[in-house]
Structure 1
Amino acid sequence: MITHETIVRQIEKLTVEANHATTEQQVREKLTAIRALCDVVLDEKANLPKLPPQNFGSASISAPVYAQPVAIPAQKLDEEDANGDSIFDF
């Protein structure tokens, strides 16, 4: 396993190289490498504990889970020509 200290030392080395680079392309390459090293350390997946493998031997299929619709309180229109609560009432 690569330690954080090893990655930080590599980032420091790349920073020095970026400071001594002679072209913008070289600076961009060093900064891209630094970004990649930071992403490795900060990657959430790398820091998550490993889960035990799932047992897929049984062929159980679970029913899909659907969210319950949210009731939105509606203001009832009071029109003198309306004859009901439907939106199709004219």
Structure 2
Amino acid sequence: MMISYDVLLNQLEQHVMQAKNAANEQEMREQLSAVRALCDVVLTTSSKPQVSTQMAVSLPQLSTPQLPTQSTTLREKDANGDSIFDF
């Protein structure tokens, strides 16, 4: 799934605003690092991203049949009850 330029630009704007309003240098550097990462995503994408169109892909849901479970207790003379370790 490709990310549109609009979505990336909105994210970039949010991180730039948070960097401008950062309380300390560490917060500002974290936001600028996020900006760098988003820029890397845009610049290293080999194919052209979608232009603000969203496509919903629906896959047919496969239903798993419910198998009836039978509870049978092992009855042997040396068994010690309903333990899963009774062989």
TM-score, normalised by the number of residues in structure 2: 0.51
Separation in structure 2 between the aligned mates of residue 36 and residue 22 of structure 1, nearest angstrom: 21
Give aligned-pair identity as a percent: 43
Q: How many residues align?
A: 47
Separation in structure 1 between the aligned mates of residue 5 and residue 11 of structure 2, nearest angstrom: 10
SS of aligned partner of 1:47: coil
Q: Which runs of 5+ in 1 are unaligned?
A: 50-90
Cα shift at 1:48: 4.7
The aligned runs of 1:1-90 (5 Å cut-off) are: 1-43=2-44, 46-48=45-47
RMSD of aligned alpha carbons: 1.5
Separation in structure 1 between the aligned mates of residue 22 and residue 40 of structure 2, nearest angstrom: 23
Cα shift at 1:33: 0.2
Structure 1 residue runs of 4 or more that deviate by more than 3 Å after TM superposition: none
The structure with the largest alpha-carbon Rg is 1
Q: Deviations over 1:51-81 (max 9, x none)?
A: xxxxxxxxxxxxxxxxxxxxxxxxxxxxxxx
TM-score, normalised by the number of residues in structure 1: 0.49
Higher relative contact order (CA 8 A, sep 6+): 2
Q: Which runs of 5+ in 2 are unaligned?
A: 49-87
